[in-house]
Amino acid sequence: MFLTGSKTIKVGDFGISKVLDHTTQAAMTVVGTPYYMAPESCQSEPYTSKSDIWALGVILYELCTLRQPFQADNLLGLVFKIVQDNPAPIPETYSPELQELVTKLLNKDQTQRPSAAEILKTEYVRQRMLQFVEH
């Protein structure tokens, strides 16, 4: 996570840096931090913006639980868990809205994951953003 001087947080992974000709183009190589790999990347499918949404879900999960949603002793085991298992829910001390958001971001079916625009339009996120701006 990168912090800028203008209170902006950017998510990045230099391990998957790649210049694409078009923003809708999909990266066809599988590199990067394994804990953040989306199920489709584990299955040699193209990396798309929905793969970034998955990684955002992993980060949000980590912020809530202080651990990654999928853990294993080796890469093959980790890939299996990412593709087959469901993570334990985040603690119930967090709101049902946050629990629902994490679940949506970590949906195995990338077509069911929300886009960044859809996430920003949810009432829960909009309210949290307003609280941040007010402070």
Q: Which pLDDT value is given to residue 17? A: 44
**How does 74-113 read in b/e, with b if 16+ C-beta sit within 10 Å?**
eeeebbebbbeeebeebeeeeeeebeebbebbbbeebeeb
Task: State the Cα–Cα distance between residues 87 and 103, nearest whole angstrom.
Answer: 9
Please, what is the average pLDDT of the chain?
Answer: 84
Task: Report the predicted TM-score, pTM, of the whole model to 2 decimal places.
Answer: 0.79
Question: What are the extents of the domains in the chain?
Answer: 34-134
Report pLDDT digits (tens) over 77-131: 999 999 999 999 999 999 999 999 999 999 999 999 999 999 999 999 999 888 8
Report pLDDT digits (tens) over 1-40: 666 777 676 666 555 444 444 554 444 344 457 899 999 9
Report pLDDT digits (tens) over 85-96: 999 999 999 999
Q: Which pLDDT value is given to residue 34? A: 86
The listed CATH number (3.40.640.10, 1.10.760.10, 3.30.830.10, 1.10.510.10) that belongs to domain 34-134 = 1.10.510.10
